[in-house]
Structure 1
Amino acid sequence: MKVFKLPDLGEGLPDAVIREWHVAEGDSIAAHQSLVTVETAKALVEVPAPWGGTVEKLFAAEDETVNVGEPLIGFTEARAGEKAPPVGVAHGRDRTRGEEKQADSGTVVGRIQQTGEVLGQEIAPTEISRRLATPSVRALARRLGVDLGELQPKGERFSADEVRAAAGRKPAVEKRKEPASPDAEMSPARRAMAMAMSRARDEVAPMTLCDQVDISAWWGKESATLRLIRAMQRACEAEPNLNALYEDGRLNPSETINIGLAVDSPRGLLVPVLRDVAARSDGALLQQIEDYKEQAHTRGIAQSDLRGGSILLSNFGALAGRYATPVVLPPMVAIIGAGRTFEGVVAVDGKPAVRALLPLSISADHRAVTGGELARFLGAMLDSLSS
């Protein structure tokens, strides 16, 4: 049996949870066909087949945890005298015994095992059965107890709204589980959070600066999140050293402003990235924010959307709290925390007046950012938000 091991998915975590198998034992599959959807570091990731062949054994069931480098799936090897699988096989010369038994090393997905074989002829693509729902929608259907096999999609594929409508918006009945032991493992999301916080504790020299700004000129008329994003954009343009990564003792300012937006969800805290905000319209940013919120509460956010941030925004005031000491996540060097807006008394033309006030708390890594840079960044945000 030819064994494919769980590869390193690039998240820095030692394992992943099997969420959905897309193949079954006995299936004949093509190279690069999706094998399984796993959850790691808060994201759902599809793992492709490294080669084509017949599935002999699945080494883990759904909801089980598999360590990186452990067997994931086994393929049947061709016996003597039998023809090799028609997908992904070299023609024109025989394989050596060592090549036949070469197994995947369990490294990063997509890495190609090098051999001396040459393809003698082009192989026509193998037809792959069309799925009527994406992995995330199928996962939602399982959670809500909806059997997609009994339904027909309105379009080419089922949407999340169709699944929720079929479920009558009632949560699925959970499987009975044995009581968790005191040393039960945390979920991938919480382990990822724990690892990130441990790294922040060990590496960052934090400093935090707080202030508040009168937002009466626009409060209740415009999106507070959008105004915060645009204020961060202008502050990054004024003080680019806060829109940067600090790696190997060097500060590397980012060429684009990529804001990681903290989103609260039942799965834990997710931080999808709004890329190149300066080049995008207000409408496009607002739509992506809504998409991220919906994904966070229904099916999870794609792994690629959780990478590439250059500065962070936590709008915790939407829940509660005015001021905080936001935690900087390396290699980024700054995070902006927006507290709950409140009515406060301020001096206007020498007289007391009640105004809508927005508290801001900004933390930075003092290894890479000076106090003056942090203060000027905050000042630029205050100027932008006050008009």
Structure 2
Amino acid sequence: MSDFLLPDLGEGLTEATIVAWHVAVGDEVTRNQALAEVETAKALVELPSPRAGRISALHAAEGETLGVGAPLVGFAEADAADAEADAGPGAAPAEAASPEPEQEQEQEQEQEAASAAGAGEARLERQQVLVGYGPVLPGTGRPRRRARTFPTTPYERPASATGDGPTPRAMPPVRRRARDLGIDLDAVHGSGPGGRILRADVEAHAHGGGTAGRRDTGARGSRHVPVTGLRKQTARAMTESAFTAPHASVHVTIDVTDTLELLDRDGRAEHRTSFLAAVCRAILPAAARTPAANARYDAETGRIEVFDEVRLGIAVATERGLLVATLPRAGGTPTAATPSGATAPGTAQGPALTAAIAETAARAREGALSPEELTGSTLTVTNVGVFGVHGGTPILNPGQSTILALGALRTQPWEHRGGIALRTVVTLTLSFDHRVLDGAEASAFLMDIAETLADPATLLVR
């Protein structure tokens, strides 16, 4: 028996967790056939078989974590597998069935011819397949990325002992809202993809009066949830960031009514710019005026590395945990910003940037981002307002000096032109590395963004 070892999946990854096996002991597999789906700290990938043969052993169970280089799958040796397949319960020993010399020579010639033909066929059919990708599409020369399906999150309870089935799938904020309302998710119909329960489903159930008793887990009940893959990487990164970078934060609440009216002026959906895209565009000229906001502290050399290009990262909540995805068309050269505040050459315009944000977030939730798209950002934006909160204090993404959090857009009485009016406001929170920026620089950077969002006309005169 020969073993296939867990390969090096790149980007410094040292381990992977078995999510699902696609083969079983005794299965015959072909070259490049998917053996298993594994979760790394970066993404979900499928491991293709390095050869054709028969599976003789699976060296890990689903949910188990293996280090790079550990045995993953055992293949039966060709001779042993053939002998096992051909031998029956009453098979005679090899010595008792030895062929005549002429027959043996004839069989050897036939085997050599068959081996040569098989080798030629294997050379013709062999394709280089990237880990996590399917075979090369005919006529394109490019591999096709396989769609990802995600397992139930570890925070959802397994099947109940009473046979009622697994706990319905729902994101943590939805489950928290259901707990607050005293609603049993078993009684809620999910309208999301794959029957997933959405917040709107919980609210509709609550308004309809169909609340059910909460599941009794025992006053002292608990369970252990394994920390693997992306969640493990997030925990490691946040611990590293929190205990190595001295965090500080500044906040400001601004009136963005005029900006929202400007964004809504063009009624065509394909030309509309989202508020998040407007925030991203406001960051670029601000970073030109405060370069330390687009930098990192190098602890090994004791120097500050200032990046020449702003590569914006967007925090995306997925079923597996939090990802920071790099926007492909949002970057710009901060030093190239003009005195009038125009964005740098190559910066995506509002509608294009809006589409890029939506596409990148969707690919992040599907697990389809490459390692480069998950590690290339220099400054992060996190939109916690989508969860309905007014604001928050984010933790820095390792290797960056700033992260901007957006709270929820909310309507409230506000001072406007010497009176009180209902206006739409938002709270911006900037966390920063105090080794790279001091309070004055961080405040200047935040107020630069805030002034642009409160009054877009400042771009024309600044």
TM-score normalized with structure 1 length: 0.69
1:6 aligned residue: 6
Contact 2:282/2:452, CA 8 A, preserved across alignment: yes
**Per-residue Cα deviation, 1:191-218 (whole angstroms, up to 9, x for no partner):** 2221122111221101111112221112
Greater shift in the superposed pair: 63-72 or 6-15: 6-15
Structure-2 residue corresponding to 1:224: 275
Rate the CA distance shift 1:383–1:184 in 2: closer, same or farther, 3 A. Answer: closer
Give, in angstroms, the shift of residue 324 of structure 1.
Answer: 2.2
Quickly say closer, same or farther: Cα 1:142–1:253, change in 2 above 3 A: same
Query: C-alpha offsets along residues 56-112 of structure 1, whole Å, 9 cap, x if unaligned?
Result: 43525673323113211234556699989989x9xxxxxxxxxxxxxxxxxxxxxxx
Counterpart-to-counterpart distance in 2, 1:360 and 1:168: 32
Larger Rg: 2
- Name the aligned partner's letter for residue 369 of structure 2: A
Partner of 2:65: 66
- Residues 247-278 of structure 1, C-alpha deviations (whole Å, 9 max, x = no match): 33332222322222112233222221113514
| 8 A Cα contact 1:18 1:39, kept in partner | yes
Structure 1 residue 348: deviation in Å? 3.7
Q: How does 1:112-131 map to 2 (within 5 A)?
A: 123-126=123-126
* Structure 1 position 360, deviation (Å): 0.5
Q: Residue 20 of structure 1: CA displacement?
A: 4.5
The separation in 1 between residues aligned to 2:33 and 2:297, in whole angstroms, is: 38
Corresponding residue number in structure 1 for 2:247: 206
**What's 1:105 paired with?**
none
- Does residue 245 (structure 1) correspond to residue 296 (structure 2)? The answer is yes
Equivalents in 1 of 2:351, 2:17: separation in Å?
Answer: 36
Whether the 8 Å CA contact 1:344–1:355 is kept in 2: the answer is yes
Structure 1 residue matching 2:147: 3-state secondary structure: helix
For 1:261, the aligned partner's letter is: I
Q: Is the CA contact 1:27–1:55 (under 8 Å) kept in the aligned structure 2? A: yes
Confirm or deny: 8 A CA contact 1:78 1:85 kept in the other structure: no
Select which of 311, 315, 333 maps to 1:262.
315
2:147 to 113, 117, 136: 136
- Name the one with the larger helix percent: 2
Q: Which has the higher contact order (CA 8 A, sep 6+)?
A: 1
Task: Give the alignment of 1:358-377 within 5 angstroms.
Answer: 358-377=426-445
Conserved 8 A contact 1:216-1:356: yes
Structure 1 residues 202 and 290: alpha-carbon distance in aligned structure 2, compared to 1, 3 A threshold: same
Q: CA deviation at 1:357?
A: 1.6
Q: Does 1:192 align with 2:260?
A: no
Give the secondary-structure state (helix, strand or coil) at the position aligned to 1:263. strand
**Are 2:297 and 2:304, in contact at CA under 8 Å, matched by a contact in 1?**
yes
User: Which deviations, in whole Å up to 9, do the C-alpha atoms of 1:280-311 show, x marking residues without a partner?
Assistant: 343333223223443455x3342423221111
Equivalent residue, structure 1, for 2:423: 355
Q: Is the 8 A contact 1:19 1:38 kept in 2?
A: yes
- 1:66, 1:307 → 2: CA distance? 23
Please name the residue that 1:104 is paired with: none
1:155: which partner in 2? none
CA distance in 2, matches of 1:363, 1:302: 26
Aligned-residue offset at 1:37? 2.9
Aligned residues: 322
Q: Which blocks of at least 5 consecutive residues in structure 1 are unaligned? A: 90-121, 144-166, 172-179
